[in-house]
Each structure stands twice: as C-alpha cells, then as structure tokens.
Amino acid sequence: MSRPAKYIPYYDDIVEAMASPGCAFCKLQQRAAERYLDAFLWESVNDPRPRRQVSAARGFCRDHAWLLVRPGAALSTAIIYQDVVGAVVNAIRATPVVEKRSFWQRVEALWGGESRNDPIVRALQPQQPCPVCANAAEIEGHLCATVLDVMKRSRDFLAHYQASSGLCVAHFRALIGATSQPELRSALIDAQLAIWEALRAELAEFIRKNDHRFREETFGVERDSWERAMALTSGPQPAATSSRGGLTQTG
Ligand SMILES: [Zn+2]
Ligand SMILES: [Zn+2]
C-alpha cells in the first residue's frame, strides 16, 4: 500500500492504529489524553491557570481522572485536587442555601424546574468541560480531516480501513458528519458496513456455539466478539490506571 508523497499530520498514526485491533480514533485519543496529562503533571501543575480550568470543570471527567493514577503522580494530583475540592467548597459557601424567589420562580419550581433553578445545584455543575475531553474533541476533528483529506487524493487508504476493526459508532458518526461528498461517504460507509456485518456474523456464531447442541465445537475468532462489539458501540473500557511510568518517587 502506497503512502501519500506529502507529509500529512496524523496519517502515519492513523495507519499504525488501524493495524491493531480496536477503533483507531479511540486509541489515538487515549494516547493524546496520556500525553496531555503527562504535560499537565510534569509541566503545568505549578501554573495556576490550567489548574483553574480543572477546578471550573469540577475535576477531570471519570474517564480521564483515573489516568492520573501512575507512579510519581500523587503529589501533583494532590495539588490539582486541592484546588478542585477548594473550588467546590467555595462555590457552596458563596451560594445562599435558600434563595429569595419571585412569584414566577415559585410557579416554575412547582412545574418541575426545581433543581435547574436551585443555586447550589447550579454552583456544583461543571462550569466548563474536562480539559482532556476538550483536547480529545480537537484531536477528533484533526483525525476526521486527515482521513477525508487522504481519501480525496487517493483511495489507497481504503485498504488500511477495510483491513482494520473499523471505527466505533461515535467516531464513524463524526467522520461521516464531517463530509457531504457523496462518493466519499459511500466508500467509507461500504467499508464500515462490511466490518460491522462481519462482526454481526461473529456474534451469531458465538451465540450458536453456546447452544448445548453444538457444545463439541471449539470457539474460534468469534470468542471475544461480544467484547469487541461493546468497544465498537459503547466505546472502549475506561483505563483504571495510566499506562505511564512516573518521573519522581513521590507517592
Ligand atoms: Zn472510537
Ligand atoms: Zn475528560
């Protein structure tokens, strides 16, 4: 398979990620999240501005916070979360427990708007998205643009796509949503549909072999089809801890 003559950012990363199981975009976003947190832990932790962003987000989201669990990161994590906990405490302290309400606010509360208008509920809400999620959204945009760009130049890339596990539903949706060009959409949809049809057949085979009448048959590639189907629809399993090593001995 030939590669584009001109250097295209992310192209090699996408092709490499497509060569191993799982959604390539999910894997590249995961790698970007690890890098983002590396920089945060080892470079930005003493800078109050990025820490304020995490506090405004009421902490990193559940998917990304646990990537901070890595050797040597305990002190930096404590510094970040001292601010997050402080921000939550300050937000509650600065908010009246019972707010004086106008007649119409009391009427709205009766019709189910109670929690939406509760000042403490509002103060506890994330005031901005998790910064790693915001970065992941940016990366997703670059990945979609790269695939569409190389596909416009040549269809060689399709062979990588067809041989891969395909994209997960969320990322395929983002990719298709990023182009209205009919030929491009058809080529990508055909490639993705063939992958999903093959997965559907593997799931059917797994279910068939679980029938007591076929107990003698051993499982083949369909053995983990149910796990792959979950990852390609609901998204991959969130990391319990980071895959990274640490730089300091603290924690
Ligand atoms: Zn994905
Ligand atoms: Zn996040």
Mean pLDDT calculated for residue range 143-160: 94
Angle at CA 237, nearest 5°, toward 236 and 239? Answer: 120
Residue 79 has pLDDT above 70, yes or no: yes
Neighbours of ion ligand 1 (CB under 5 A): 23, 25-26, 168, 171
**What is the CA(191)–ligand 1 centre distance, in A?**
16
User: Is the pLDDT reported for residue 45 higher than 60?
Assistant: yes
Residue 142 confidence (pLDDT) above 80 = yes
C-beta separation of 6 from 108 below 8 A: no
CA dist., res. 119 & res. 86, Å (int): 18
What percentage of the chain exceeds 90 in pLDDT?
67
C-alpha span between 141 and 143 (Å, rounded): 6
Question: What was the pLDDT predicted at 5?
Answer: 59
**Per-residue pLDDT tens for 166-192?**
999 999 999 999 999 999 999 999 999
pTM of the entire predicted model: 0.85
In this prediction, residues 213-226 reach a mean pLDDT of 88
- Neighbour count for residue 248 (Cβ, 10 Å): 13
- Of all ligands present, the nearest one to the C-alpha of 129 is 2
226-239 burial, b if ≥16 CB within 10 A, otherwise e?
eebbebbeebbeee
At residue 249, the pLDDT reads 41
Q: Which of 98-102, 125-129, 239-243 has the highest mean pLDDT?
A: 125-129
Euclidean distance between CA atoms 108 and 120, whole angstroms: 17
